[in-house]
Amino acid sequence: MRDENTVGPGQDIVSALRYEAMRVQDLDEVLAIEQASFSTPWSRAAYHRELITNGYATYLIGRLDGHVITYGGMWVILDEAHVTNIAVDPGFRARGAGRRTMAALEERAAQLGASRMTLEVRVSNLAARRLYEALGYHGTGVRRNYYSDTHEDAMVMWKDLGPPPSGGGPTGGRPNGGRP
Q: Which of 86, 109, 114, 155 binds ligand COA (CB under 6 A)?
A: 86
Would you call 104 helix, strand, or coil by DSSP? helix
Extended beta strands in the chain, E state: 18-21, 57-64, 67-77, 80-88, 116-122, 138-143, 154-160
Residues 22-81 binding ligand COA (CB under 6 A) are: 37
Nearer to ligand COA, 63 or 99 (CB): 99
Which residue's C-beta sits nearest to ligand COA? Answer: 98
Task: For residue 24, give the DSSP letter.
Answer: G
**Distance (Å, whole) CA 75 – CA 120:** 13
Residues binding ligand COA: what is the number (CB under 6 A)? 22
Q: Which of 131, 155, 157, 161 binds ligand COA (CB under 6 A)?
A: 131
* Residue 16: how many other CB atoms lie within 10 Å: 13
Compute the radius of gyration of the chain from its Cα atoms.
16
Residue 138 found at the interface with ligand COA (CB under 6 A): no
| Residue window 89-128: x/- pattern of binding to ligand COA, with contact defined by CB under 6 A | ----xxxxxxx---------------------x---xxxx
- 146 among known catalytic residues: no
- 107 among known catalytic residues: no
> Amino acid identity of 21?
A
Q: Which of 64, 81, 85, 147 binds ligand COA (CB under 6 A)?
A: 85
